[in-house]
Amino acid sequence: MDHRGATILDVSKLRKSDSLLPERRQEVTVLFVNVTHLSPNLQFFVCCVAVFILYVIYGYLQELIFTQEGFKPYGWYLTLVQFAMYTVMAYAETRTLSTSKRRIPLKTYALLALLTLGTMGFSNSSLSYLNYPMQVIFKCCKLIPVMIGSILIQRKKYKLVDFIAAFFMCAGLSYFTLADSQISPNFSLVGVAMISCALLCDAAIGNVQEKSMKTYAASNTEVVLYSYSIGLLYLFVVMLFTGDFWNGVVFCADKPQMYGYAFLFSLSGYLGVNVVLTLVRTCGALAAVTVTTCRKAVSIIISFIFFSKPFTIQYLWAGLLVVLGIYLNLMSKNQTLSSKFGSWMETLKKPLGSWSYSYKRIRTIETTV
């Protein structure tokens, strides 16, 4: 979801008379608990703890569901249940906040729903063919399709450090994939294709959400409600036509605990999204990306602890390459570190001769176009 879109919505709600009032601290809630009275550092700590707890639970339950005997063919049925629960939760939140008026056109939501369905569905189903750490490593490299989507959809310009970060992510991802293909019994190119499709949809949805939420000043709750409810309708019709819906119903009827797992899985995911939005609003996108990246590292460690799977030291080296790419990406978002990197690159231009001229041209194009 686009966090800046939520900020635009809050500003648009201010009345003219509000500008005459003394400035007050913006209300901050974490899991529906008001923490405005806490210091900014304590608010950050509370958000971090909530993100780690909720998303570690989310990752654990996701892997637990797919390790249940016979469940692997029903990834899309899990997605259907997840969409239904997200729809109910978003509707309840919308009614509670009395923000039922829709702002974004339905044709835009039709596209968002399709992209959301691709993101969640392919991500869930990929676990039928890949182990959980492999999936998480792919998700850590979301920058790559996001950059491609931003360039194609929003015509954004990126700095040199962003392309270097993408290179290290690609290198680490390729190394991890190669290592996993050699030792993992669950490795499949079908799974790689699925998680790649999920990332492509995720990149596209982020850019479409950003443009639509900026244009129509829609709330995050509205976007979640309509995206998941329309996506639920899409998937339900398709699964009825293919017969996968009834197959999933029959399977889960024999194992009703799957619905309990799915409920906790969906609840932790929905609440986690809300906490991340709060973290972005109070501490900024840089802090949110850093926290969620660390959370993914913890999820990988927990996966190896609680679920038996082969391990090789090549996983570690590949993961370090991905971490380096993530660090460079974070550095590009931090103006202080980015300026230091730019100064360092300027010092390299002198001994590199003609490369200096090429680099200078690139920098000029980025700042003037």
243 and 294 share one domain:
yes
Model pLDDT, residue 94: 86
What is the model's pLDDT at position 18? 45
- CA angle, corner 271, sides to 211 and 333, nearest 5? 45
**Pick the residue with more confidence: 332 or 271?**
271
Q: What are the φ and ψ backbone dihedral angles of 33, each rounded to 5 degrees?
A: -110, 130
**Structure confidence at residue 223 as a pLDDT band (50, 70, 90):** confident
Q: Which residue has the higher pLDDT, 333 or 335?
A: 333
* Helices first, then strands: H and E counts in the chain: 15, 2
Q: Which of the residue ranges 108-117, 167-176, 247-256, 259-268 would you say has the lowest mean pLDDT?
A: 167-176
Residues 221 and 349 in one domain: no
* 349 and 317 co-located in one domain: no
Residue 237 binned pLDDT confidence (cut-offs 50, 70, 90) = very high
d(CA 286, CA 271): 20
For residue 31, the SS3 value is: coil
User: Are residues 269 and 286 located together in one domain of the fold?
Assistant: yes
Confidence (pLDDT) at 24: 54
Q: Which range has the worst mean pLDDT, 51-65, 174-188, 267-281?
A: 174-188
Domain assignment present for residue 28? The answer is no
* Residue 25 domain flag: no
Residue 35 included in any domain: no
**How high is the pLDDT of residue 249?**
94
Q: What is the pLDDT of residue 222?
A: 85
Quick one: 212 and 342 in the same domain?
A: no
Q: What is the pLDDT of residue 257?
A: 93
Write out pLDDT tens, residues 102-149. 888 999 999 999 999 999 999 999 988 888 888 888 877 777 777 776
pLDDT of residue 364 exceeding 70, the answer is: no
Strand partners, 33: 30
Q: What is the pLDDT of residue 128?
A: 87
Of residues 184 and 137, more confidently modeled? 137
Q: Is 233 exposed, middle or buried (0-12, 13-18, 19+ CB in 10 A)?
A: middle
Specify the pLDDT at position 101: 80
For the chain, how many structural domains are there in total?
A: 2
Instruction: Inform me whether the pLDDT recorded for 51 exceeds 50.
Output: yes
Q: In terms of domains, do 303 and 342 share one? A: no
Q: Does a structural domain hold residue 251?
A: yes
Same domain for 217 and 76: yes
Q: Are residues 294 and 350 in the same domain?
A: no
Tokens representing 74 are 């029903």
The pLDDT of 157-181, averaged and rounded, is 79
- Look at residue 186 and tell me if it is in a domain: yes
Q: For residues 315 and 343, state if they share a domain.
A: no
CA 208 to chain centre: 14
Is the same domain home to 297 and 364? no
Is the per-residue pLDDT at 233 higher than 50? yes
Question: How far is it, in rounded angstroms, from Cα 233 to Cα 355?
Answer: 54
Q: Do the domain assignments include residue 12?
A: no
Non-local CB neighbours of 253 within 8 Å, separated by 6+ positions: none
- Higher-confidence residue: 195 or 19? 195
Whether 71 is in a domain gets the answer yes
- Short-list 189, 183, 191, 192, CA closest to 311: 183
Range from 177-186, 242-251, 358-367 carrying the lowest mean pLDDT? 358-367
Q: Is the pLDDT of residue 334 over 70?
A: no
Burial of 96 (0-12, 13-18, 19+ CB in 10 A): exposed
DSSP 102-131: --S-HHHHHHHHHHHHHHHHHHHHHTTTS-
Q: Cβ distance 362 to 158 under 8 Å?
A: no
Q: 240 and 127, same structural domain?
A: yes
Under the phi-then-psi rule, with left for phi > 0, alpha for psi from -120 to 50, and beta for the rest, what region is 28?
beta
- Could you list the residue range(s) of the whole structural domain that residue 120 is in? 40-333
Could you read off the pLDDT of 63-102 as tens digits, one per residue?
A: 899 989 999 899 999 999 999 999 999 999 888 876 668 8
Average pLDDT over all residues of the chain: 78
In a domain, 50, yes or no: yes
Q: 14-18, 31-35, 96-100, 254-258: lowest mean pLDDT where?
A: 14-18
If asked whether residues 73 and 119 sit together in one domain, one would say: yes
In Å, what is the CA distance from 325 to each residue of 169, 175, 198, 207, 332? 5, 14, 20, 21, 11
List phi, psi (to 5°) of 39: -70, 160
pTM, rounded to two decimals: 0.72
| pLDDT given for residue 352 in this prediction | 46
Cα distance between residue 283 and residue 135, in whole Å: 28
Give the pLDDT mean for 179-193: 77
Higher-pLDDT residue of 95, 343: 95
